[in-house]
């Protein structure tokens, strides 16, 4: 299947996903009891004032008309206006998204850097003590609640040891780096501020470990399974018979082929991490989209909640497309993708 065919299929899928996600989110958000106009006006506001706010926000229209107007605006790239902040949702998400994206990228790199070696080691020493240890870690990663892990990490590394900060994105007494890319690690390096870089890195470690730990287990299990299959192939036996060292057989021959079926899992982990960041950011007071959407939910800010879900769903489909194209790049013989 060529590039254009994949692109057309995924773009069509993207339209369906955005439509479905927007409809479901709109329905659920309007089922929540409460009146955003009343929350915005305050408890002491008169009914006339609340009615005026409700009319200005379009909340007095039938639900179908509200949804129709939202979708028409969305088709023009307008995510609406936040009830809580009064700013365009697109601007709010643009301001908060870099913090979330930086956290997700570091968490994904952490899960790959730890999970892939664990999976390889587990497969090479199958049914040995280290294999059982890796499998235990994998099960723990998948089953450990993120909020519990976050609290434990804060308790030990911040409360007991004092090695790492317990929340935030950078020290409050330090200067915020110039917003070049929105990624503090990159911006501090570009600004030549080593102190701010280490501060940003220390603040990033605990939330990144919390967010990425579950995918350490997933990556380890996937790589282990793929490696066990590759180690039984004829080309591996041929390489061993040819006198190649065990390390060369594993790293130069078996591992590259084992990574092929793992591309999907590792790629789609990116989308999972975007959604998973909501809880992690809340616990660590990380100023990203997760914190933004939680505050929006509490304020019954429907446009902000819908904007978040649409943007993350859009990113999820784009990751699917990127995974398909990576498959084609790794193995052009593949004729059917996705």
- What sign does the CA torsion over 297, 302, 308, 313 have? positive
Q: Where are the alpha helices (DSSP H) in the chain?
A: 3-31, 36-41, 47-56, 63-75, 89-124, 129-143, 146-153, 184-190, 194-230, 234-241, 246-248, 255-283, 289-298, 302-330
Rounded distance between C-alpha atoms, residue 139 and residue 150, angstroms: 18
Domain ranges in the chain are 1-84+299-338, 98-282
Region of 86 on the Ramachandran plot (φ > 0 left; ψ -120 to 50 alpha; else beta): left
Q: Which of 30-44, 60-74, 107-121, 251-265 has the lowest mean pLDDT?
A: 30-44
Per-residue pLDDT, 252: 81
Gap between the Cα atoms of 191 and 127, Å rounded: 50
Residues in the chain: 338
Question: What's the pLDDT score for residue 102?
Answer: 92
pLDDT value at 22 more than 50: yes
Query: Encoding tokens for residue 7?
Result: 């692109």
pLDDT of amino acid 334:
54
Cα separation, 29 vs 71, in Å, equals 16
- The domain made up of 98-282 has a fold known as MetI-like fold (1.10.3720)
Confidence of residue 106 (pLDDT cuts 50, 70, 90): very high
Q: Look at residue 6 in the predicted model and tell me its pLDDT.
A: 66
The pLDDT value recorded for residue 107 is: 92
Q: How far are the Cα atoms of 241, 254, 272, 315, 321 from residue 257, in angstroms, in the given order?
A: 19, 6, 25, 27, 21
Whether the predicted pLDDT of 269 surpasses 50? yes
């Amino acid at each position: 299947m060529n590039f254009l065919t994949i692109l057309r299929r995924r773009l069509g899928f993207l339209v369906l996903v955005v439509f479905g996600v927007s409809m479901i989110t709109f329905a659920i958000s309007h089922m929540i009891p409460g009146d955003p106009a009343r929350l915005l006006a305050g408890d002491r506001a008169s009914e006339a004032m609340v009615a005026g706010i409700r009319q200005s926000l379009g909340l007095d229209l039938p639900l179908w008309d509200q949804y129709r107007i939202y979708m028409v605006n969305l088709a023009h790239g307008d995510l609406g206006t936040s009830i809580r902040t009064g700013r365009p949702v697109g601007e709010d998400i643009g301001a908060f998204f870099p913090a979330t994206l930086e956290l997700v990228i570091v968490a994904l790199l952490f899960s790959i850097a730890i999970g892939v070696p664990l999976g390889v080691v587990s497969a090479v020493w199958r049914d040995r003590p280290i294999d059982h240890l890796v499998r235990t870690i994998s099960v723990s990663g998948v089953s450990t609640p993120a909020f519990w892990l976050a609290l434990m990490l804060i308790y030990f590394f911040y409360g007991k040891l004092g090695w790492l900060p317990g929340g935030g994105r950078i020290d409050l007494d330090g200067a915020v780096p110039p917003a070049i890319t929105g990624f503090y690690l990159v911006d501090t390096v570009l600004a030549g501020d080593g102190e701010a870089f280490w501060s940003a890195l220390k603040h990033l470690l605990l939330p990144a470990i919390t967010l990425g730990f579950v995918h350490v287990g997933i990556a380890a299990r996937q790589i282990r399974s793929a490696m066990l299959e590759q180690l039984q192939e004829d080309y591996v036996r041929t390489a061993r018979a040819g006198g190649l060292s065990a390390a060369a057989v594993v790293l130069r021959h078996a591992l590259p082929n084992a990574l092929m079926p793992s591309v999907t899992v590792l790629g789609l982990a990116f989308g999972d991490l975007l959604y998973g960041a909501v809880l992690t950011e809340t616990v660590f007071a990380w100023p990203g989209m997760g914190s933004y959407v939680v505050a929006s939910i509490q304020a019954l800010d429907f446009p902000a909640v819908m904007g978040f879900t649409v943007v993350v769903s859009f990113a999820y489909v784009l990751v699917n497309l990127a995974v398909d194209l990576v498959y084609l790049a790794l193995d052009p013989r593949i004729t059917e993708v996705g």
